[in-house]
Amino acid sequence: MVHRGWLGGIVAVLAAVAAAQASEVGGDLRSGPFSLSISAGQPVRVMRASAAIATTTAPLMADLIDATGQISRLSGTYAKVDRTDGGYRASGVLETAAGSILEFADEFTAVTDGGSFRLDRTVTVRHAANADKGFRTQFSAQLAGAKSLADVQVFVPGMWYCDAAHVPPSGLIGDPSQQNYLIREDRLPLPLAMIRNRSDGLAVTVIHTQPDGTTFAAEDTRATVIDDRMQFASLGPVQQDGTAVALAYPGAEKDQSRIAGKPGPPAAERFHPVREGLSQHWQMVLHVAATPSFDDAMRDAWQTAYDAFAPKPVALPMPKVYAASIDVLDHYFLERNGIPGFPFAVTLPDGKVRDVSFQMGFVGEQIPCAAHLIAAGFKRPQAALVKKGERIVDFWAANCLTPTGLPRTWYDVDPKPHWRDYKTFTRIATDGMQGMLQAWRRMKLNGRDKPAWLACCRKYGDWLVAHQNADGSYFRQYADDAKPLIDSKSATLHPVRFLIDLFNATGDNRYLAAAKRAGKFGQTDIGDNANYYGGTADNNDVKDKEAGWIALDSFLALYEVTADRAWLIPATHAATFTETWVYGWNVPIDRTGSKVTIPKIQTTAGMSLIATGHSGSDVYLAFAPFAYFRLSIYSGDAHFAAMAKLLMQNTRQLVDVDGSLGYAQPGLLTEAFSLAPPRGHGVNVWLPWCTAAVLDPMQQFQDAFGAMELDQIDQLPQARRTELLTTYSRRHGFPALRSKP
C-alpha cells in the first residue's frame, strides 16, 4: 500500500501488486518481552503483549527533490514479506509521478539483548526519470501516546537531554517550534536518538549501527547538496503521525542546522542522486525499553549503542606521554616583569607564544600545572623543576587573596603587572586553589612544608564556609567584596572536592559539612532530568560535559570521605551523562582542505563534545579516567573501567610525544577542533589546561597504584586493586597529612 506525497504533485504508486498478493503476510520477531510485527500492506509495530508501543506507519519513505527544487515525500508499506533463517525480508517500491522507481529491500532480525531489532536496508534506484534529481530515505517509529514533543523526554547525546533546559537560543534545539529535529550524526558522540513517554516510561531509540560518515569539504554549505559521496545519516525526534524518532539517509538538517556557522533557514538539505543503479546501504537498531526514570532511559539507550560499537583503546606509551607533557611545561615556563608562570596561549604548529597572562585555574591552570612540575621534579629527581613550580605557587599564595579571603584569579604582566578586572568565578578560583592544595601535599610528602600555601587554602576554605547559602549552594561569580555578581547557583558543586581535600589535610569538620551541604543541593538541582549545566566560566549556564564531570568528581569524593553508598547513585548518573559526550566511533576527516589542522590520529573515539549550542570538540575528558576507574571498583560495573581506558588512551593521541604530529615542541596538543562541518578545523592553539588534563589522572594512577598504564594496573588482582584504591581514597590522596585544625 502506498500513499500520495504531500508536495510537488508527485504520486506514489505500488509496483508488483501481484507479487505482494502472493507473498507471505509476515510475522513476528521477539526480543525479550517485546515483539516486532511485520506484515505486507501494514505498518511495522513494536508490541508488548497485545499493545503497540511504537509504530512505523510507512516503513517505505523517501523525500525527493526535482529539477525545480521542489521537495516531496513518498511513503508506503511493504508489498512482500518473506521469512528468512534469521528473521524476515520485507520489500516494496515507491514510484514517482515522473516514473523514477526506488526499490526497498529490508532485512529484519532480533538482537539477543532485550528489546532490540536490527534493520539492514538497501534502497536501489531501478529507474531514473530526468525530472527527479535527488532522494533521501527515512525510517521512523512513532511512540504510542505521544502526540507532541511536550509528551516526551528526548535524548540525543551531546545535544538534547530530557526537556532541553539550559540550551542557548542559538543551539541546534534552541527553537521549540520546529517539527523535524534531525541532527547530523557527525555531531553526535554515538549516532542515536531516543524519545521517552513521560506518562508511562516507555522509550524508543534509533541507532545507526554502522556509520560510514564520509563527506567532502565543499559539503559545508547551507545550499542543497545532491551527491553520493555523502555517507552520513541524521537522527532525531520528528512530528510525524504523532511524535516519532527517525533516521534519515543521507543526513539532512532542517531549520535548526548550524551548517556554515549559524542556525536558521534555509535547511541544509542533503540527497543522493536519482541515478539508475545507485544503491543506499545502511543498518540501524530499533530499541525499546520500559524505564522508571529519564536517567535509566538515557543509560539504557547509551549503553545499548555503546555495546554495539565497542570502541577500542589505542596503544600509547604512557611514560613518554607523561615525560613530554612535563617537558612542555618546563619549556614554556617564563618570567615577565619578575612574575613566573606559563603563557596563556601558544600557537600551533609553530609553537610561538601568543599571549602571556596568568589565570590560576580553568583554561589558564597556572597553579595545577605548577603542582605537576613539582611532582615531576621530585620523581626524576630534578630540583630545577621543583623550584619553578614552587616559585609559581609562592606568587599566588602571597598575592591572590582579597581581604575577604576570595581569590583573584587573573594576573596580567604586560606592560605593567596588575590584576585584571575580571571578577571571581567560583570555578576558576576552586581550580586554582585545588592545585595549590595538591602542590602543598606534594611538598609535604617529600619532606618540605609550605605552611603559607596551606594557610592560603584555608582562607579560601573559610570564605567558602562563611559564604555558603542557607540551602547549601554557591553562586557562580562574586565581586572582590564577596557580593554575588551572577546569582545562578550552577557553581554549587565546583568547590566540593576542594573542601573535602582541605578537610582531609586539616581535620576541620567545617569544610566537610560545607561539602555535604553543597552535595545535597547539587543532587537536588540536577534531579532526575540530567540537569547538568554551567560547568565552564566562559559559557553561561548552558548544559555541558564539564558540569557532568564536576558532579562525578564531587559525588565520588563525598562517597570516599563518608563511605555512604548513597552518594554512588548520583555519581553513577553523572558518569553516564558525562560519557554521553564522548565519541565512540571514528569520524573520517577529509584532509584535502587547507584549513584541516587536527593531527592524523588513529580514531576520533575518545574525543568529546564541549557544550550544547555548537559542535566543537576537545580532549577535556582526559581529566576523567581516574574517576571512572574508581567508580568501576566501587560499583562493580566493568563498563566504567572500559570508559576509563578509552579516555586514558585515546585522548592522549593528540599529544605530540616525539614531534611526529608536526608541532614545534613535543608535548604540545591542540585545544579544540570540530568533527562536524567544518570537519578537522581547529583553534590551533595550546592552553595550559590541555597539559593539566593529560597529567592529572596519570599522576593520580601513579600515586594510587604505582603505575600510570592501565594495562599494568589490570594485571593486579582485583582484591589488590581495591585495597590500594581504598588506602589512597580514604584521605583522597592525603594519607597521614592532617595537621591540627
Domain assignment present for residue 711? The answer is: yes
In this structure, are 302 and 336 located in the same domain? no
Q: What pLDDT score does 1 carry?
A: 41
The pLDDT tens digits for 143-188 are 999 999 999 999 999 999 999 899 988 788 887 778 889 999 999 9
Q: Report CA 614 to chain centroid distance, whole Å.
A: 12
pLDDT at 8: 35
Are residue 191 and residue 56 in the same domain, yes or no?
yes
Tell me, what's the pLDDT at 178? 84
Residues 339 and 292 in one domain: no
Same structural domain, 373 and 284: no
Inside any domain, residue 692: yes
Residues 196 and 225 in one domain: yes
In a domain, 735, yes or no: no
Q: Residue 538 class from Cβ within 10 Å (0-12 exposed, 13-18 middle, 19+ buried)? A: exposed
In a domain? residue 741? no
Phi and psi, residue 15, nearest 5°: -100, 155
CATH for 719: 1.50.10.10
Verify that 560 and 691 share a domain, yes or no.
Answer: yes
Are residue 301 and residue 329 in the same domain, yes or no?
A: no
Last residue in a domain, options 257, 275, 309? 309
Task: Indicate the number of domains in the chain.
Answer: 2
Q: Same domain for 324 and 285?
A: no
- Grid cell 523526554 is found at 153
Task: Based on the fold, state whether residues 301 and 328 are members of the same structural domain.
Answer: no
How many residues are recorded in the chain? 741
Structural domain of 217: 2-309
Q: Tell me the sheet residues that pair with 203.
A: 196, 289
Nearest CA to 456 out of 477, 434, 485, 423 is that of 434
240 inside domain: yes
**What is the DSSP track for 379-404?**
HTT-HHHHHHHHHHHHHHHHH-B-TT
Last residue of a domain, one of 309, 339, 354: 309
Dihedral, CA atoms, 191, 192, 193, 197, nearest 10 degrees?
A: -170
37 by Cβ neighbours in 10 Å (0-12 / 13-18 / 19+) ranks as middle
Is residue 737 assigned to a domain? no
Q: How many CB atoms lie within 10 A of CB 298?
A: 26
Q: Which residues of the chain have pLDDT under 70?
A: 1-24, 261-266, 735-741
Q: Are residues 334 and 302 in the same domain?
A: no
577: in domain: yes
- Same domain, yes or no: 299 and 328: no
Same domain, 619 and 641: yes
CATH label of the domain that carries residue 11: 2.70.98
Q: Is residue 411 part of a domain?
A: yes
- Domain-ending residue, one of 288, 309, 330: 309
- Considering only the C-alpha atoms of the chain, give the largest distance between any 2 of them, rounded to a whole number of Å: 90
